[in-house]
Amino acid sequence: MLLLVVIRLGEEAYGVPVARELEQYRGRIVSVGSVYAALERLEAKGLITSSLGDPTPERGGKAKRYFRITKAGLRQVHDTRRVLTRLWRTIPDFKLEFHLEER
């Protein structure tokens, strides 16, 4: 999900917009600290890279940390999508309807 958000935001993928997008899609408050922790884990795995922007006065002279997807990250997103699609196809429609009714 985080990788998709980073791809979607493109050049503007830094802490605030990433957390805002996640909040929008998940419908609850997201901790910016946990977003950074997850992004740093992805960076350690080589799926994204980060770079510091210029400090701005609106942010109290603090720089933004921009995140970009790597080739390995893109490959990972495609692989995950393929696996999920294949898995979805194996689940018959009546089972999904049954679980929805139960809710």
Residues 6 or more apart whose CB falls under 8 angstroms from that of 50 comprise 39, 43, 65, 66, 67, 68
- 72 lies in the site for other proteins, by CB under 8 A: no
Residue 60 makes contact with other proteins by CB under 8 A = yes
Question: Cα–Cα distances in Å, from 75 out to 49, 50, 66?
Answer: 15, 18, 20
Near other proteins by CB under 8 A: residue from 58, 93, 101, 102: 58
Instruction: Determine the distance from the C-alpha atom of residue 101 to the mean position of all C-alpha atoms in its chain, rounded to a whole number.
Output: 30
Contacts to other proteins from residues 20-39, by CB under 8 A: 29, 31-34, 36-37
Least distance from other proteins to the Cβ atom of residue 77, Å = 21
Closest CA to 32 of 59, 71, 69: 59
* Interface ranges with other proteins (CB under 8 A): 14-16, 19, 29, 31-34, 36-37, 40-41, 43-44, 52, 55-56, 58-60, 62-65
